[in-house]
Amino acid sequence: MNTEPESKPDTLALTYAAWLTRLWLAVRAIQTGIEKFAGKAVSEEVVAIDGSPNDYGLTASSAEKAYSLDNYHGVPAALYDKFAGEPLIPGFFLKFYDWVLGPALLVLGLTILLGIASRTSLFLLGALYISLTWGLILLGEPGNAGVAWLAAHMILIVMALQLSRHNKLCVLKKW
Amino acid sequence: MNDSPTSLSRRRFIGSTGVAGAGLVLGAPGILKAAAAGGDAIHVALVGFGKQGEVLFNCLKNIPGLRFQAVCDISDWNRKKGMGQVRAVQGDLPKPYVDIDEMLATEKGLDVAIVATPDFWHSPHTVKCLEAGLHVYCEKMMSNTIDGARAMVHAAERTGKLCQIGHQRRSNPRYLYTYEQLIKGRNICGQIVNANAQWNRSLGASQDIGGDKLSKSIIVPDERLKQYGFEDMHQFLNWRLYHDLSGGPISDLGAHQIDIFNWFLGTQPKALFASGGHSYFKKREHFDNVMAIFDYDTPQGEVRAFYQVLTTTSAGGGFWESFMGTEATIKTAEIASSSAIYREDGAPSWDDLVEKGYLKRKPAPPKPQSSEGAVAAYESAAPEEYDLPGGFNKPAHQPHLENFFAAVRGEASLNCDAAHAFESEAPIFYVNPSAERKERIEFTQEQLSV
């Protein structure tokens, strides 16, 4: 009979693994949410010629990245147009989804980062990524690169859920 | 702008300038405008929602006061795409149509049609819409045949409706400024003796669209394809490659820039010689490479204009037009970074123009080391480089569409109505015949007039 004692799991390594997956998913969600408020602050001035504004509308412009509520676009414009043409996506749902996507990413990213109901937050983030996957499947994206990209996120979420027992430093352990 | 002779408004400038060549007014299409349409929304039908239709829609959605009432396209894929994009803009779906006749018979209250169908449908579609009482914005080339283009002019005259042709550079603020202020107003080129333009497209960008295996969703049923003049999906996706459906690269790409020759030089050419060949794409019906020389008589004197459209290289920086005068060369392009103005060594100083803001001086490039010996004696000094004082921050087609809708509202005149577009496009119809017959063509008035 084998009398060697069973090897103990390396709990420190598992804790680090839990933190890394938690941090990655949180950063990914939070920054993606923030970027939905990003836009370009374009300053455009009509060029003066011979002391007067020109009649042609020639302008000198500069554009800088800026964040504001007015810039908010949950679903990127190019994708929104395509989704709007999908008969399986009702108009009201698309509008709601567009409205909720950015805030949802921010809230779930923060709850995962702070460890608030981590398992439920991870589950909801996974559900959100599934909804994005469904949209990309509907659009018939060539090569399905976006679907594969989201699948990588799902693998990380599953890993984070598996590691949840080792997820220390949480504000709310429950759920 | 002040009232100095060089800062006339566009309309006043046109009214006060004589134009050479068969009584033409190539630079002055601002004749037609509709009666004021009031403050109500303009009801628009989108006829053709392929790639170009989408380009136009991406401009149209920035123009206030439009209501997209119908989308017509024989392709389910295109139609669905158009409907989705309209819904994204106005919140509800437009009426879908496969057939334009059905659309015109069914839809009430349409004001305008935007025609972006393949070239061989431009004329029939435009004429139908004009006769149905709609104003029409139709993509260039007006038609794949000169008689088709003539029919559009006649229909516009007969119906009294507006018909703008999509030579969008005619409304581009940078082109307008260059023409009115720099070439005509201040004559900074001196005598323009030569012009040169090109549209060179790389091999990669010149390949056939589609492939052996098409996605089910984009396939148009055979019966429908044949009903609308296409043999198969290859023809439908690649109509630009076929004799009966388009004029080939010289009309598809060249039309934009040869139009600028005619606009800026203020007249039609008096003669043409062209050469072309199936140099790489052996099986295509149209020439894949075409070079053409147009001879002009302008009030300043003779001008020779060389144009090339090559579908096997992007050499030379893609697409641009260049007007070479004794004192300066102006290179215009839709892409602002491809534009430049070069002052010849010895030309009058432009310091005053720079100081007043008419031009911007570009930083001087480092001086090349002078060549040795006898060669140096024949070298010209490098010209100084300048730029326009500003640009504009809109999609390229938007100002032209804005001009069209302003004309529909009775607030402006068309910058490129069908009659003037015809004058500019007419010589282009003779490029392929000249290349095929290897013959110089001396134009007659009958050939170039409506």
pLDDT at B22 over 60: no
Scanning chain A, the segments in alpha helix (DSSP H) are 11-35, 77-84, 91-114, 118-139, 145-162
Q: Is the peptide bond before B83 cis (omega within 30 degrees of 0)?
A: no
% of residues, chain B, pLDDT over 70:
88
Token pair for residue B230? 């296409």
pLDDT at B35 over 60: no
Tell whether B391 lies on the interface with A, counting CB pairs under 8 A: yes
* Other C-beta atoms lying within 10 Å of the C-beta of residue B251: 26
pLDDT tens digits, residue range A118-143?
A: 999 999 999 999 999 998 888 877 67
> Are B357 and A44 in contact (CB < 8 Å)?
no
What single DSSP character describes residue B334? S
B106-131: average pLDDT: 98
What does the buried/exposed string (b/e) look like for B274-290 if buried means 16 or more CB atoms within 10 Å of the residue's CB?
A: bebeeeebeebebbbbb
Q: Which of helix, strand or coil describes residue B306?
A: strand
Scanning B209-326, the segments in alpha helix (DSSP H) are 222-227, 233-237, 249-252, 254-265
B253-270: average pLDDT: 96
B73-92: average pLDDT: 93
pLDDT at B18 over 80: no
Question: CA neighbours within 13 Å on the CB side: how many for A96?
Answer: 5
The Cα of A95 is separated from the nearest Cα of chain B by a number of Å equal to 9
Tell whether B370 lies on the interface with A, counting CB pairs under 8 A: no
- CB within 8 Å of chain A, chain B residues 254-273: none
Beta-bridged to residue B114, according to DSSP, are: B46, B137
Higher pLDDT among residues A146 and B42, named by residue: B42
Q: Domains of chain B: which residue ranges?
A: 31-170+398-416
pTM, 2 dp: 0.77
CA distances in angstroms from B342 to B260, B299, B328, B339, listed in the order given: 19, 23, 5, 10
> Are B393 and A44 in contact (CB < 8 Å)?
yes
pLDDT tens digits, residue range B394-415?
A: 999 999 999 999 999 999 999 9
Which residue from B257, B262, B276 is spatially nearest to B443, judged by alpha carbons? B262
A97-110: average pLDDT: 94
Whole-number Å distance between alpha carbons of A64 and A43:
8
Give the pLDDT confidence score for residue B13 in this predicted structure: 32
- CB within 8 Å of chain B, chain A residues 4-63: 42, 44, 46-52, 54-61
B371-384: average pLDDT: 66
Helix axes B146-159, B418-425, angle to 10 degrees: 160
Q: B389: nearest CA in chain A?
A: A47
Kindly indicate whether the ipTM for this predicted assembly is greater than 0.90, answering yes or no. no
Higher pLDDT among residues B40 and B75, named by residue: B75
Q: A83: nearest CA in chain B?
A: B84
The Cα of A144 is separated from the nearest Cα of chain B by a number of Å equal to 14
Give the pLDDT confidence score for residue B29 in this predicted structure: 46
A53-68: average pLDDT: 90
Give B306's pLDDT tier (boundaries 50, 70, 90): very high
- Which of A59-63, B56-60, B327-331, B446-450 shows the lowest per-residue confidence on average (mean pLDDT)? A59-63
pLDDT at B365 over 50: yes
For chains A and B, count residue pairs whose Cβ atoms are closer than 8 Å. Answer: 76
Q: B83: nearest CA in chain A?
A: A85
Give B376's pLDDT tier (boundaries 50, 70, 90): low
A33-57: average pLDDT: 91
Give the pLDDT confidence score for residue B378 in this predicted structure: 64
Higher pLDDT among residues B112 and B376, named by residue: B112
CA distances in angstroms from B218 to B214, B257, B381, listed in the order given: 7, 32, 56
Tell whether B396 lies on the interface with A, counting CB pairs under 8 A: no
Give B301's pLDDT tier (boundaries 50, 70, 90): very high
Q: Which of A40, A50, A79 to mutate to test the interface with B (most CBs of B within 10 A)?
A: A50
Rg of chain A over Cα atoms, rounded to whole angstroms, equals 23
Give B15's pLDDT tier (boundaries 50, 70, 90): very low
pLDDT tens digits, residue range B127-151?
A: 999 999 999 999 999 999 999 999 9
Q: Which CATH architecture has domain B31-170+398-416?
A: 3-Layer(aba) Sandwich (3.40)
Whole-number Å distance between alpha carbons of A41 and B286:
46
Cα B359 from chain centroid (whole Å): 25
Token pair for residue B241? 């490659």
B363-368: average pLDDT: 68
Give the pLDDT confidence score for residue B377 in this predicted structure: 59
Chain B contacts of A74, Cβ < 8 Å? none
- CB within 8 Å of chain B, chain A residues 55-114: 55-61, 77, 80-86, 91
Give the pLDDT confidence score for residue B38 in this predicted structure: 46
B307-327: average pLDDT: 95
> Are B390 and A82 in contact (CB < 8 Å)?
no
pLDDT at B181 over 90: yes
- Which of B17-21, B242-246, B355-359 shows the lowest per-residue confidence on average (mean pLDDT)? B17-21
Nearest to A47 among B85, B390, B399 (CB): B390
